[in-house]
């Protein structure tokens, strides 16, 4: 079979670009990339902006997956698009619902890899926790994902695809243009707190979040998206300038000695380097505080002295401290701090003038809580030599 044959659309005769190769997925393409794809199938320059607007609306506002449903495109354009491109999102292979309404999805991406996506409904919002990598290169000792080798980065399409497949499951695509903003959104917030380190897959995460924020599509406010990092210092300022979403930092330890053990990336960028980057984070203000995530581990990082050190470290940074009771997983080397200890820790921080909510564990019965996610793709623990090499430690 020949690679090149010819198709005719409204305007000109052009070569078909993918006769034998797999079709290119339009999900995850930025507007600029979409422009190229449309040019390739012969859309004329003067029609490009209009066509992008129409196709964007169908894919990201209406949730359409077939070109023949895009009724304001000519039949011939629908046909050339269908011959060359696809509109694909990852496939749900398993769905579990917790007694508290939390839904955990196991989804399959190309290469038969799997990632987990969690939807957490609350009274005033519905938060989707999405993954940015299959596994993680980092090896935080309290995190289940950290026991799994990095398999690969997700593409922008696979990242925004997680949002789209959950909108499918919640049946949250408007049937027509009028109905959208009238009822509260079921999926109103995104947190990049699933599997992986988002700042080690910066470009794909950025492109996907830009799509999520685009006002002509899914249209989530940048203030409803939170990116959580373990502390990849060189990429922190780009998060503000190129994405503009809120930032959360997995802090977890108040001395380098403790943090080196819990979050080994601290050996590369230590607490003072991290704090300096956060102080300079351009978006931090009282209305857009940085969230410090702090996992409560019994007798490891939960003393009054830790709470006081934390306060002195973050002095001057508009911050909120999210205390996360440790979510246990099979054979985990830590225990969750007692309730009374967590409360005492929270009170010290609160009395110093910072919000210090204790995160309510959700979806525990289905292992859907933070740090419990793990796919079955790879279960091998990284050797410490490989880990040291990645972190640049001799
Ligand atoms: N890699 C990023 C985002 C994913 S982890 C990061 O580390 O920030 C999302 C949050 O869950 C992080 O704050 C992480 O430290 C926390 N977490 C990981 N394992 C946990 C566990 N077992 N119990 C509670 N929180 C955990
Ligand atoms: Fe990776 Fe975040 Fe887990 Fe650390 S806490 S191993 S950075 S997913």
Q: How many CA atoms lie within 13 A of 315 on its CB side?
A: 4
Domains and CATH numbers, the chain: 3-86 (1.10.150.530), 91-380 (3.20.20.70)
What DSSP character marks residue 59? I
* pLDDT tens track for 240-281: 999 999 999 999 999 999 999 999 999 999 999 999 999 998
- CB contact burial 311-348 (16+ within 10 A = b; e otherwise): bebbeebbbebbbbbbbbbeebebebbeeebbeebbeb
Arithmetic mean of pLDDT, 50-69: 98
Residues marked active site are found at: 116, 370
Look at 59-73, 76-90, 364-378 and tell me which has the smallest mean pLDDT. 364-378
pLDDT of residue 76: 96
Judge if the beta carbon of residue 356 lies within 6 A of ligand 2.
no
Judge if the beta carbon of residue 126 lies within 6 A of ligand 1.
no
Rounded to whole angstroms, the Cα distance separating 80 from 99 reads 46
> Among 130, 293, 342, which is best to mutate for testing ligand 1, by the most ligand atoms less than 8 A from CB?
293
- Going from the Cα of 100 to the center of ligand 2, the distance in angstroms, rounded, reads 25
Q: Give strand pairing partners of 293.
A: 250, 322
Residue 101 pLDDT level (bands cut at 50, 70, 90): very high
* pLDDT tens track for 330-342: 889 999 999 999 9
pLDDT of residue 349: 98
With 90 as the cut, is the pLDDT of residue 321 above it?
A: yes
Put simply, whether the predicted model's pTM sits higher than 0.75 gets the answer yes
Residue 369 pLDDT level (bands cut at 50, 70, 90): low
Q: Which residues contact 294 (CB under 8 A, 6 or more apart)?
A: 251, 252, 301, 310, 321, 322, 323, 324
Q: Which residues contact 334 (CB under 8 A, 6 or more apart)?
A: 141, 142, 297, 298, 300, 326, 328
User: Ligand 2, closest atom to CA 250?
Assistant: 5
């Amino acid at each position: 079979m020949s690679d090149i044959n010819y198709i005719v659309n409204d305007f000109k005769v052009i070569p078909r670009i993918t006769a034998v190769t797999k079709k290119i997925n339009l999900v995850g393409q930025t507007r600029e990339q979409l422009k190229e794809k449309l040019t390739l199938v012969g859309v004329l320059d003067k029609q490009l902006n209009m066509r992008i607007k129409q196709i964007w609306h169908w894919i990201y506002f209406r949730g359409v997956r077939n070109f023949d449903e895009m009724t304001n495109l000519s039949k011939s354009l629908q046909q050339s698009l269908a011959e060359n491109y696809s509109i694909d999102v990852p496939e749900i292979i398993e769905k579990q619902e917790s007694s508290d309404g939390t839904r955990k999805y196991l989804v399959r991406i190309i290469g038969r890899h799997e990632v987990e996506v969690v939807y957490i409904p609350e009274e005033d919002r519905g938060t989707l926790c999405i993954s940015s990598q299959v596994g993680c290169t980092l090896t935080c000792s309290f995190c289940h994902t950290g026991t799994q080798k990095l398999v690969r980065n997700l593409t922008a399409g696979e990242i925004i695809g997680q949002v789209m497949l959950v909108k499918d499951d919640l049946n949250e695509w408007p049937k027509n243009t009028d109905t959208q903003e009238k009822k509260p959104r079921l999926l109103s917030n995104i947190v990049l707190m699933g599997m992986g380190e988002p700042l080690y897959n910066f470009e794909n995460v950025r492109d996907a979040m830009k799509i999520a924020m685009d006002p002509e599509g899914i249209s989530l406010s940048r203030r409803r998206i939170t990116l959580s990092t373990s502390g990849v210092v060189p990429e922190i300022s780009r998060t503000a300038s190129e994405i503009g979403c809120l930032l959360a930092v997995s802090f977890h330890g108040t001395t380098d000695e403790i943090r080196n053990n819990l979050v080994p990336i601290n050996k590369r960028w230590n607490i003072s380097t991290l704090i300096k980057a956060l102080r300079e984070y351009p978006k931090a203000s009282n209305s857009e505080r940085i969230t410090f995530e702090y996992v409560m581990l019994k007798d490891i990082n939960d003393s009054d002295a830790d709470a006081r050190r934390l306060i002195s470290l973050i002095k001057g940074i508009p911050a909120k401290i999210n205390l996360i009771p440790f979510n246990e997983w099979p054979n985990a080397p830590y225990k969750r701090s007692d309730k009374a200890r967590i409360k005492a820790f929270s009170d010290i921080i609160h009395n110093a003038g910072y919000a210090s909510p204790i995160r309510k564990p959700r979806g525990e019965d289905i292992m859907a809580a933070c740090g419990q996610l793990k796919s079955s793709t790879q279960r091998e623990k990284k050797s410490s030599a490989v880990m040291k090499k990645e972190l640049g430690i001799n």
